[in-house]
């Protein structure tokens, strides 16, 4: 990759500034080892939420609230974020981040539990956007559940789909890399979606349900 290309990618990654509340949530998430989204990824999430517009969003993997803050910033004032995480400590931090950002508590549903169990109880076709950033081995099951929950025209968004630059390397054959590589190809070839893979953060796959 040329130096100019690398400079352009770095410029794009830093193009949108991170506000102090989102930065604090990201740093707290890093302390937990929750791998919060980068600001460039957050900016895409905000843009998608605004463009849809997304009044009902489901997030699989709350972390410390970083991605939730970006999504809420793009959603309409009456939009509700449902966010699911198995770690109660992470969700306490997320609630604190939402409060610090002035988000009314009526705009968030923070659910502690195993995501697949929670998703099974949610309403088909009732969501405008589903964001997945959780246990990588369960991504295929999350995608199946999210596809059911999305309305036509809704967006499925998966983080970490370049997985530390290993997905694009055919020599990388560890289980997580192979799983994400195969999942990305499966979604790309699924005629039920319009799909793209964005080289922001650790790779963001966006698929719009037909």
CA 55 from centroid of its chain's CA atoms: 16
Pinpoint the alpha helices (H) of 101-209: 115-119, 139-149, 175-189
Residue with tokens 């803050």: 69
pLDDT of residue 30: 93
pLDDT at 1 over 80: no
Q: What's this model's pTM, rounded to 2 decimal places? A: 0.96
How do the domains of the chain map onto residue ranges?
Answer: 3-209
Distance CA 43, CA 60 (A): 18
pLDDT over 90, % of the chain: 92
Question: How far is CA 145 from each of CA 116, 189, 192, rounded to the nearest angstrom?
Answer: 8, 18, 14
Instruction: Tell me the longest C-alpha to C-alpha distance in the chain.
Output: 50
Instruction: Residue 18: name the closest of 1, 34, 42, 2 by CA.
Output: 42
CB 49 within 8 A of CB 57: yes
The better pLDDT of the pair 187, 2 is held by 187
Which of the four pLDDT bands, split at 50, 70 and 90, describes residue 32? confident
Backbone phi and psi for residue 200, each to the nearest 5 degrees, phi listed first:
-110, 145
pLDDT of residue 169: 96
The predicted model gives 166-175 an average pLDDT of 96
- Segment of 2-11, 25-34, 110-119 carrying the highest mean pLDDT: 110-119
pLDDT tens across 99-153, in order? 999 999 999 999 999 999 999 999 999 999 999 999 999 999 999 999 999 999 9
pLDDT tens across 121-133, in order? 999 999 999 999 9
| Number of neighbouring beta carbons within 10 Å of residue 165 | 12
Query: Is the CATH code 3.40.50.150 the one for domain 3-209?
Result: yes
């Amino acid at each position: 990759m040329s130096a100019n290309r690398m400079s352009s990618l770095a410029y794009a990654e830093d193009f949108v500034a991170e506000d102090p509340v989102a930065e604090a949530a990201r740093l707290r998430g890093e302390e937990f080892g929750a791998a919060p989204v980068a600001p460039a990824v957050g900016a895409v999430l905000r843009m998608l939420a605004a463009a849809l517009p997304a009044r009902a969003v489901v997030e699989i993997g709350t972390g410390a609230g970083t991605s939730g803050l970006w999504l809420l910033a793009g959603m309409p004032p009456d939009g509700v974020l449902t966010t699911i995480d198995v770690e109660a400590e992470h969700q306490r931090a997320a609630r604190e981040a939402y409060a610090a950002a002035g988000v009314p508590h009526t705009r968030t549903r923070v659910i502690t539990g195993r995501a697949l169990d929670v998703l099974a109880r949610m309403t088909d076709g009732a969501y405008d956007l589903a964001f997945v950033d959780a246990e990588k081995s369960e991504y295929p099951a999350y995608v199946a559940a999210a596809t059911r929950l999305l309305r036509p025209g809704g967006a499925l968004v998966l983080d970490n789909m370049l997985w530390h630059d290993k997905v694009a390397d055919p020599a990388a054959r560890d289980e997580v890399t192979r799983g994400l590589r195969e999942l990305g190809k499966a979604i790309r070839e699924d005629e039920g979606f319009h799909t793209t893979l964005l080289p922001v953060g650790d790779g963001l796959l966006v698929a719009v349900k037909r």
